Structure 1
Amino acid sequence: MLKNLAIGLSVIIVVTAGAGWWFYEHLNGNIHSVSLDGKGGTEKADAFGRTPINILVMGSDGRTSEADCKLGGGCSKTGVQTGSNADVEMVLHISADRSNATVMSIPRDTMTKVPACQDSESNQSTSGYYGQINSALQYGPACQVATVHQLTGIPIDHFVKLDFSGVVKMSDAIGGVSVCVSDDVYDTYSHLKLSKGSHTLKGDAALEFVRSRHGFGDGSDLGRTTTQHIFLSSMIRKFKSAGTLTDPTAVYGLADAATKALTVDDGLGTVKKLISLASDVNKVPTKRMTFTTMQTAADPGNKDRVVVGPGAKTLFATIAHDQSLTTGSGKKSAAASATAKPTAPAVPASRIAVTVENGTAVTGRASDIAATLTDQGFSSATTTANAPSPSATTTLTYGTGEKDEAQTVAKTLGLASSHLKQGTGAALTLVIGSDWPSGTSFPGGSSSPAPADTQAAVGGAHASTADQSKTCAKVSPYKTVTIDGVSMTPSQAYAAARGTPDSDA
């Protein structure tokens, strides 16, 4: 009897283990991963050896399958297409101590420099150009990561890419996402049609909501980012709810949908690594997850495009320097973070321009250091040049009355006071010597960048936290949609289209 019981238990263990192995291999087989080739930079560990995580989350507009053609439209003449744009771009930052997170949206209409890239899968390449930021994805995910890294100065460790059908699969797998709209809305472009109030969106309705540009805010991509934050906040709250994570069927469905829906970098290319990432996100309380949108200004050359606006570099710096935008209670941080030094620099970095000269035999040293300074909020008037002659020692020369400015630069770069000297000119000149052949912090120095002003970082950034469950997406009051050639507001369109079923009907 005992022998038979032992045999039976052995069979059950073997079968269960086999099923678990099959399940693990099945999920791993779903994942499509791509190498970043180091194009996103590298995070620095904190004093305790802990490292932040920065992930570029991309929503692709590609119609690269029949399913995406059906969901996104636009394939009636072209058929299934090749290539795609990153119409959704969010930098997800998880702090080194996993106590807080920031999600920063970058509007797809932002104009910037795209670096030289080659897609490892399609071999499509570019020598670099000035254009719309979302277009970099045409040269592969690594190119999109490199473009965002170049724009923001934020090291990007990983990426996650989702297409139209992926949004549908994910929303279905968790049983829908709860959202609220401030008024009746009908976006005749994305086809989102909802009555005023709360709704649970699945499948196509979820995709219509996150794609809607004309239904909310000012009817542009800027309004859409805020709506997407509402959607993601709700999804995160549901992920973290006990009902989702303790239901084996729900967990399997979510894991299966996620691994089928996502393209990731090699660093996230296994189920084990994705589970570890999910665990890191789960450690952060919703009240300490801040959603923001990069501040923008109108592009002088094109009214339909935007450029990086005032405050954006400060927002970039808070992320790059692992500063939280919330306190432990979930409220917005004070002007200086909890990790800030008790004394702030006497002269704001934004008012300091530096001439950086390369006195080494290493090409690009001046550009590297100048980019570090501007990324950390120094004046865009900072320039580069070759030093008149090679220099063995790095020196920072300042004019009369400019010692405070020089000390601010030195503190940022980790230069000791012995590298500073007063000159006769009226500008700050930093000569990079052969004692500093690489890196952006002086070797052996104590570089501790001045903390960014977190109040300025969220100014105009439409900041919110993931615990704000009662926030409704504000329907656009402008005539952003049309029916039969007649312009009207999304609410007027809802009333005029009574015969069209609601998205969640």
Structure 2
Amino acid sequence: MSDPWDGAGGRATRNRTRQVPGQRESEPDGARPTGGRAAARAASRARGGGRSRRRARPAGRGKRALKFLGIGMSLLVVVIAGAGWWFYEHLNGNINSVALDGRGGSEKADAFGRTPINILVLGSDGRTSAADCKLGGGCAKTGVQSGNGNADVEMVVHIAADRSNATVMSIPRDTMTDVPACTDPLSKASTSGYYGQINSALSYGPACQVATVHQLTGIPIDHFVQLDFSGVVKMSDAVGGVDVCVSDDVYDTYSHLKLSKGSHTLKGEAALQFVRSRHGFGDGSDLGRTVSQHIFLSSMIRKFKSAGTLTDPTAVYDLADAATKALTVDDGLDSVKKLISLAADVNKVPAKRMTFTTMQTAPDPNDSNRVVAGTGAKDLFSTIANDQALTTGSGKKSAAASATAEPTASAVPASRIAVTVGNGTTVPGRAADVATALTDQGVGSATVTHDAASSATTTLTYGTGQKAEAQTVAKVLGLPSSHLKQGTGTGLVLVIGADWPSGTNFPGGDSSPAPADVHAAVSNAHASTADEAKTCAKVSPYKTVDLNGVSMTPSQAYAAARSKPDSDA
């Protein structure tokens, strides 16, 4: 068979007797070296000995290949680094931030130097873009609006100092409270302070909303995160949809949510309709909406934590891009690095130890359509401010879910404790001053006795089985454990000694707020944990919606609107 490369028809005729590249040409006599290894090799060849001649490797070809490979790898590194820098700068450029200027107070580190995180999550009803006008409606006459709008959603997210647990507390938007003096640095909108609906404070800027919640609850809030309508849509799309369940057919003619009984995966506008629906769930008020929002957020958290979301580079990019575009944050969260750090802290908390609650309310005496903080709210505020967990260390159902567990030995609620206080000093009124301080800190009762003997040392004596109560009181007063002793009687007796002549905190002690009553904190707070995947939003049984001028229940409206497609269709 002829070689296709040979002959006139080929591209060229190969030289089969070509010289090996790099082979030395014969040299004139005397030009060769006369000694050394070259002479020895020549002598060996003349004798026919030594190794057979090998084809020499083409000079420079290997080096050129390595050089091209090195250049290629360098270019690849530059491209990847450039893309990474662009990605980082792109995400940073998405973030809109606002300074809080200390309006929310500051967190206190624990004994190990660890600090809790408290974030106020806000959902704005502002129609400040064409997208928000389309999603929220109401812009037909006003057009795209300016300003911050009102806070339709307010949630205090508390992450424990040791990152072992978290509490999310919703504050109904209809809550009446005192709004402090505020000025929005951007819009210049200003108020000297007033008594009004809590969600209206956002009109004077996010810092004013943070200050208002801090003033109501006493909880230090050092961060805020704000989303608008389009932000909810972007976030739900970025995670591939959020799984929810409804207890019955529901059609909220106001938010336009329409779903059949059972489970659904909601994306985009359907997700927004679900979190905005207040007439579809519960009693048709904002209280019912907070519970359905907790179901939605619990599902989203479970999806965030799923391997399929966090290990998929495309999903992570989409999520990061959507999140940074959707959020307005305080200047303490104004970079991708800071947001990633926050996400890592949240991710450390197991879903079974994330407790969702709603602030307890009571009807406003002046307006039956509004509410005020109710019984148990102060205890709920205190658990967050004092970094108390609402779940057990094992994550099993505890006071957060059932409100039946007994307090642990180291955290007896102060409200259950009675103390008798005696003055063992020569300073008049010492017992009364300390007794007042105890009740101000939430101790159930503090009775002054007038027959205490003089004492050089302050002592807190407790009866059998009452050590935990004594520890709670000692913590309130900053009294070291060396001043506690068990007696033969019953009850707690505190005798103020000469070593404590003034003040309501023991000299050199480290007093801290008394533990709150966890039972009261979760009572009527609709507490649930984020691992409860089978919980369905309870559709309202009341006539909370209106269809064609007729009042009806959300389920009746669903049946009457068969021609309207479901939200997830």
Same fold flag (TM > 0.5): yes
Q: Is the 8 A contact 1:52 1:95 kept in 2?
A: yes
Deviation of 1:328 (Å): 2.3
Q: Is the 8 A contact 2:119 2:222 kept in 1?
A: yes
The one-letter amino acid paired with 2:137 is: G
Give, in whole Å, the separation in 2 of the partners of 1:23 and 1:90: 30
The one-letter amino acid paired with 1:177 is: V
String of CA shifts for 1:307-353, please: whole Å, max 9, x gaps: 00000100111111111100123234456655x6376658559x99x
Give, in whole Å, the separation in 1 of the partners of 2:531 and 2:227: 24
Q: Which moved more, 1:176-185 or 1:75-84?
A: 75-84
Give, in whole Å, the separation in 1 of the partners of 2:138 and 2:233: 18
Query: CA 1:494–1:299 in structure 2 vs 1: closer, same or farther (change >3 Å)?
Result: same
Deviation of 1:56 (Å): 0.2
Matched, 1:457 2:529: no
Q: Is the 8 A contact 2:407 2:413 kept in 1?
A: no
Deviation of 1:378 (Å): 6.8
Give, in whole Å, the separation in 1 of the partners of 2:122 and 2:411: 38
**Matched residue, 2:45:** none
**Matched residue, 1:177:** 242
Q: Secondary structure at the match of 2:371?
A: strand
Q: 1:447 aligns with which of 480, 496, 511?
A: 511
Alignment of structure 1 residues 83-162 onto 2, 5 Å: 83-162=148-227
Deviation of 1:24 (Å): 0.1
Q: 2:137 aligns with which of 62, 73, 77?
A: 73
Deviation of 1:252 (Å): 0.5
**Matched residue, 2:92:** 28
Give, in whole Å, the separation in 1 of the partners of 2:297 and 2:221: 20
**Matched residue, 1:167:** 232
> What's the Cα RMSD here?
3.0
Q: 2:105 aligns with which of 25, 29, 41?
A: 41
Q: 2:383 aligns with which of 318, 324, 342?
A: 318
Query: CA 1:299–1:409 in structure 2 vs 1: closer, same or farther (change >3 Å)?
Result: farther
The one-letter amino acid paired with 1:21 is: W
Unpaired runs of 5+ residues, structure 2, are 1-64, 400-404, 421-435, 453-459, 463-468, 482-501
Alignment of structure 1 residues 466-505 onto 2, 5 Å: 466-505=530-569
Query: CA 1:57–1:16 in structure 2 vs 1: closer, same or farther (change >3 Å)?
Result: same
Q: Is the 8 A contact 1:324 1:333 kept in 2?
A: no
Alignment of structure 1 residues 402-441 onto 2, 5 Å: 411-412=475-476, 414=478
Q: Secondary structure at the match of 1:235?
A: helix
Give, in whole Å, the separation in 2 of the partners of 1:490 and 1:344: 42
Q: Is the 8 A contact 1:113 1:147 kept in 2?
A: yes
Deviation of 1:408 (Å): 8.1
Unpaired runs of 5+ residues, structure 1, are 353-368, 383-395, 418-434
Q: Which has the higher contact order (CA 8 A, sep 6+)?
A: 1
**Matched residue, 1:432:** none
Q: Secondary structure at the match of 1:191?
A: coil
Give, in whole Å, the separation in 2 of the partners of 1:20 and 1:163: 28
Q: Secondary structure at the match of 1:5?
A: helix
Q: Secondary structure at the match of 2:384?
A: helix
**Matched residue, 1:341:** 410
Give, in whole Å, the separation in 1 of the partners of 2:334 and 2:415: 47
The one-letter amino acid paired with 1:98 is: R
Matched, 1:50 2:114: yes
**Matched residue, 1:3:** 67
Runs of 4+, deviation exceeding 6 Å:
401-410, 440-443
Give, in whole Å, the separation in 1 of the partners of 2:439 and 2:268: 45
Query: CA 1:24–1:311 in structure 2 vs 1: closer, same or farther (change >3 Å)?
Result: same
Q: Is the 8 A contact 1:314 1:377 kept in 2?
A: no
Deviation of 1:412 (Å): 2.6
Deviation of 1:75 (Å): 1.0
Give, in whole Å, the separation in 2 of the partners of 1:156 and 1:63: 26
Q: Is the 8 A contact 1:296 1:310 kept in 2?
A: yes
Give, in whole Å, the separation in 2 of the partners of 1:320 and 1:281: 18
String of CA shifts for 1:410-464, please: whole Å, max 9, x gaps: 85354799xxxxxxxxxxxxxxxxx98xxx9777332032211212210000000
**Matched residue, 2:489:** none
Give, in whole Å, the separation in 2 of the partners of 1:21 and 1:373: 57
User: Normalising to structure 2: TM-score of the pair?
Assistant: 0.74
Give, in whole Å, the separation in 2 of the partners of 1:217 and 1:193: 16
Deviation of 1:240 (Å): 0.3
Query: CA 1:400–1:167 in structure 2 vs 1: closer, same or farther (change >3 Å)?
Result: farther
Give, in whole Å, the separation in 1 of the partners of 2:346 and 2:473: 35
Q: Is the 8 A contact 1:336 1:453 kept in 2?
A: no
Q: Secondary structure at the match of 1:146?
A: helix
Give, in whole Å, the separation in 2 of the partners of 1:41 and 1:215: 37
**Matched residue, 2:7:** none
Give, in whole Å, the separation in 2 of the partners of 1:257 and 1:216: 28
Query: CA 1:400–1:346 in structure 2 vs 1: closer, same or farther (change >3 Å)?
Result: farther
Q: Secondary structure at the match of 1:292?
A: strand
String of CA shifts for 1:188-232, please: whole Å, max 9, x gaps: 000000001110000000000000000000000000000000000
Query: CA 1:40–1:148 in structure 2 vs 1: closer, same or farther (change >3 Å)?
Result: same
- The alignment-based identity, stated in percent, is 79
